[in-house]
Amino acid sequence: MFQSLPQAFRTHKLQADVRSLLLLQKSFENGLVKTFGDLFVVLKGIIVKKPQDIGPFSKAYYEYFLNIQFKPGETLGSAITRSVAFQEWKENYLESLDDEAETPDLQSLIDRFLDQVHLTSYDIKKIIDGKQILEQDNPDLEDQIDQDANASQGPNRPLDRASDFSDIDINELLDRMRRVADQQKDQHFGGSHWIGQGGISPYGFGGAAKGGIRVGGAGGGKMARKVIGDARYFPVDKDEQINDNNIDASLASLKGVISESAEEELDVQGTIDMGLKRGGLFVPELKDKISREMKVILLIDNGGYSMNPYIHTVTQLFKKMKTRFAHDLKTFYFHNTIYEYVFTDARRSERMNIDRFLKHSPDYNVFIIGDAAMAPYELGRSSIQHWLDIANKFKKAAWLNPDRQEWWEHTFTTKVIQEIFEMYPLTPNGIEKAVLEMNRKGRMG
């Protein structure tokens, strides 16, 4: 089953492989997956490996199982509204409502839809437990719930047993899922078979009419709010230019700069001391190699309008980095390119001679942030020489460019700079790549 699942999730840059499938199968066999919401939770536990994965994972999950396609930058709500799955669900749902009931607005429909998609057996258990307590408390409550359930916004909503897979034979379920997975490829079906068209629907409505469980609003909109309101659930596009929304994803990428030294070396003094304590039994003692401090120089181009939108975010980002895990962060500024000086303040009034700048220890990680786009005459020979000096001195240097990558080749000076520095886009992914490359160079010495 689900042979295409790893591939589909991998296109979202998630780690999914045969092992994920085996684990999923094992979870099925152990009865962990009873509802569609359980499937989300179980797959999330298997596939998501870091907080930044949650967004892409939700995206991949909606795409694969519900055939909800995201246009770049689109919100979850509007992607859902466009999808066939939601349309069919809506039709069924509206039919199931009483005639007198007011038609719910779109937002509450989406909430409702997400609630049902994410309804887990845990929620059901909670609801049932809660219901039993309620019933013991108040025998008249049943009628009251019936009335409330008809009102779309009422706190009490019907849930039904049809969403529980536990009575179904596991093979039948797998078979059914395989069919659905196959149909994903076929646009005629569009994966919407997950949504009640008779048969076993993960969130069908038949059950409610047959006297299924009617319960209080425990699940009410919890997941929906989570998905729509929470940046971690809402897909963050890691190839988007850096902004206040993905600053945390960028920060996570930067974390990789921390040098990890797990190397050990022979501790001669320690060996002698311990050997004497042990009464002449000398066992080699090891000590950790002192790990280098994380040192960062930030060189920001704050001239020109092209850079303005990014300066605030970039300085915020590195400031956050400093408070969280850097020990030594220095920021310098330049205007388009470097002549004789760099500047130590953002207003570019305090100069530092380039020779003095180059006296910094070579183990600094240098991030140069600029669009590298200037008039060709600005990038004269002496200026190029300065860049070369910087590149030679600091082996761990990277250029982060806020312009879109596809534009780079159209700017002459950008191409020149690219020959001197490794250039990466100023996106969470770009930063991550830059950091990996820096670390690799750091290790090579």
Partner 1 sequence: MAKKDLWDGNDIYVCDGDLAQAFHMARVLGMPLLIEGEPGTGKTELPLQYSKSHGLDLHVYPVGSKANVEQFVAKFDHVKYLRDSQIEVLNMQREEKGMDSKLSTGGRSTEQLDDYILMGPAAKAFMSPHSVLLIDEIDKAPREFPNDLLYALSHRKFVMPESGRVIEVSEEDMPAIVITSNREQELPTAFKGRCIYHYIAFPEPDTMKSIVIRHYPKADDEVVNTALNIFYHMRNLGLERAPSTRELLHWLKYLQQFAKEETLEKMKNLDGIGALIKTQSDLEKVQSKLFSSGSSDYMKRSLPN
Q: Would you tell me which residues interact with partner 1 (CB under 8 A)?
A: 15, 19, 23, 26-27, 30-32, 38, 41-42, 44-46, 48-51, 54, 120, 122-123, 125-126, 226, 230, 232, 252, 255-256, 258, 260-262, 278-279, 281, 283, 288, 320, 323, 325
As measured in angstroms, the least distance from the Cβ of 332 to partner 1 is 23
Question: In the structure encoding, which two tokens stand for residue 49, read together?
Answer: 């490996």
Residue written as token pair 């199931």:
96
Q: How far is CA 68 from CA 58, 85, 191, in A?
A: 11, 7, 9
What DSSP designation does 153 have? Answer: T
Cα separation of 90 and 109, whole Å? 8
15 versus 87: smaller Cβ distance to partner 1: 15
Which residue's CB is nearer to partner 1, number 32 or number 101?
Answer: 32
As a whole number of angstroms, the distance between CA 439 and CA 445 comes to 10
Q: Please report how the helices 121-137 and 36-47 are oriented relative to each other, as an axis angle in degrees rounded to 10.
A: 130
| Amino acid identity for residue 441 in this structure | K
If 0-12 CB within 10 Å is exposed, 13-18 middle and 19+ buried, where does residue 174 land? Answer: middle
CB of 224 to partner 1, least distance (A): 13
- Tell the smallest beta-carbon distance from residue 260 to partner 1 (Å): 5
Q: How far is the CB of 107 from partner 1 (least distance, A)?
A: 15
Taking CA 133 as the corner, what is the angle to CA 131 and CA 137, rounded to the nearest 5 degrees? Answer: 115
Residue 287 · residue 255 · CB < 8 Å: no
- 298 versus 417: smaller Cβ distance to partner 1: 298
Smallest distance, partner 1 to C-beta of residue 165, A = 15
Q: How far is the CB of 44 from partner 1 (least distance, A)?
A: 8
Nearer to partner 1, 256 or 303 (CB): 256
Structure tokens at 246: 């993905």
> H helices within 118-163, ranges in order?
121-137, 141-150
Residue (32 or 97) nearer to partner 1, CB: 32
In the complex with partner 1, which residue's Cβ is closer, 169 or 260? 260
